[in-house]
Amino acid sequence: MKTIIKFGKWEMSAILINAMSTKVFLNFPRTALEVGGTAGWILILYVTLLSIIGFLIIYMLYKRFNGKDLIDISEYLAGSVGRIISGLIIITVLTLMIIVILREFSEDMKTITLISSPLSFVMIFFAAAMAVGAYFGIEAIARCHVIIVPIIVAAYFLIIVGVLPQSDFSQIFPLLGSGTDKIFLQGTVRMSFFAELLILFLLTSFAKDNKTVKKAGIISLTATGLFFLMVVIVYISLFPYPSDLENFLPLYQIARLIDYGRFLQRVESIFVLIWSSAAFLFLSVSFYLLIHIFTKTFRIKHYKPLILPFTAIIYALSFIPDGLPEIVQIDAYFVHKYFFIVTFIFTILLYAAANIKSAGRRRDTSDA
């Protein structure tokens, strides 16, 4: 008998908050400023609002299909062909997300602390945590999120509060930064900052009910938007704008400024603990979902035998980008620029088509 795993809104929200916010520890604040200039925070407000609206639209369309994830919906729409096409799209998206996070975190970790260790060695720790996470399954991963995410959030606030005395909020001027067209027109694609919301529509079968999905979506989008907003404002206020665009790992640079008195001056190494925990959580949940979607797409009964080969594939694929600049480029100008197409447009189209089909069937049944 297969065990039925169901999560409440806190588990679901914790997974989504971590999945969407992990990029805060990477180059996200810099990317936001590159797009919106000193008005990067307005960009964040704008895309958060757009994403919440996008989510509510998806939720309205999803409501009728309680517990059905994107693969189920695709199968409902176009049978096995639909299931396989959707599955491949989602597998590609997840694989790219995992590769980017795995490589970027490993590169950054090597640059910051493990200077003399080879990249392949550093990457082993992330890959191992990812594989073990998938082995223990989504329930254990979700439970870990509930424990670790509040600690990460607390550490994040500690960093933000710790540097507040050094902030100069006059640096948010000029208020509209790069200009309204860059923020409100070109910036729309930056809904991709919330591209990881896709995970919610892959986890719907684990949600207790529709309300859980709705609450988790709204809570996570709001919380993540808030974290983004805070980090961007603090980042702008700490460094002059030209330096903002040059800093490698903005949040790490922020953490380096912490000065809690003579004894606690260099606490950024503790940041490594928090930082790697966030990466482990993200990698394990995405990797589990990657295998879960693969097994669901190709109707494979067991997922555990796939863990090792998939880990090896992901590990090998992560070495394809030449170096840190290239992987940052892929992250900022591909994954978190265009992936909103899959998370929002593709999802809306799927659920909308399913609604139309369902309505058509109902009409047919009532006519008959």
Site pattern 134..153 for another protein (x: CB under 8 A): --xx-xxx-xx-xxx-----
| Pairs from 157-164 (Cβ < 8 Å, separation ≥ 24) | 159/251, 159/254, 159/255, 159/258, 159/271, 160/230, 160/231, 160/234, 160/254, 162/255, 162/257, 162/258, 162/259, 162/260, 163/234, 163/238, 163/254, 163/255, 163/257, 163/258, 164/234
Measure the CA angle with vertex 147, ends 145 and 149; round to 5°. Answer: 55
Please tell me whether residue 219 binds another protein under the rule CB under 8 A.
Answer: no
Rounded to the nearest whole angstrom, what is the least distance from the CB of residue 274 to another protein in the complex? 9
Q: How many whole angstroms separate alpha carbon 72 and alpha carbon 196?
A: 19
Which of 122, 152, 195, 291 forms a contact with another protein (CB under 8 A)? 122
Note whether 169 and 238 are within 8 A (CB): no
Cβ-contact 117, 254 below 8 angstroms: no
**10 belongs to the binding site for another protein (CB under 8 A):** yes
Q: Which is nearer to another protein, 76 or 125 (CB)?
A: 125
What tokens does 308 get? 């090792």
Binding another protein (rule: CB under 8 A), the pick from 24, 109, 324, 354 is 109
120 is an interface residue for another protein by CB under 8 A? no
Q: How many CB atoms lie under 10 A from the CB of residue 229?
A: 18
d(CA 45, CA 31): 15
Q: 6 or 357, CB closer to another protein?
A: 6
Question: Per the omega criterion (within 30 degrees of 0), is the bond before 29 cis?
Answer: no
User: Looking at beta carbons only, is 1 or 147 nearer to another protein?
Assistant: 147
Q: Considering CB under 8 A, how many residues would be counted as binding another protein? A: 39
The interface region with another protein, picked from 193-201, 265-273, 312-320, 323-331 by CB under 8 A, is: 265-273
Alpha-carbon distance 269 to 252, whole Å? 9
- Cβ closest to another protein, residue 115 vs residue 368: 115
Q: Does 26 bind another protein (CB under 8 A)?
A: no
84 binds another protein (CB under 8 A): no
Residue 208 interacts with another protein (CB under 8 A): yes or no: no
DSSP 165: G
* Beta carbons within 8 Å of 193's beta carbon, 6+ residues apart: 20, 23, 28, 32, 44, 47, 51, 228, 336
Does residue 254 belong to the site contacting another protein (CB under 8 A)?
Answer: no
Residue from 96, 230, 267, 353 binding another protein (CB under 8 A): 267
Name which of 262 and 302 has its Cβ closer to another protein.
Answer: 262
Q: Least distance in Å: CB of 56 to another protein?
A: 26
- Residues near another protein, by CB under 8 A: 8, 10-11, 109, 113-114, 117, 121-122, 125-126, 128-129, 132-133, 136-137, 139-141, 143-144, 146-148, 262-263, 265-267, 269-270, 272-273, 276-277, 280-281, 284
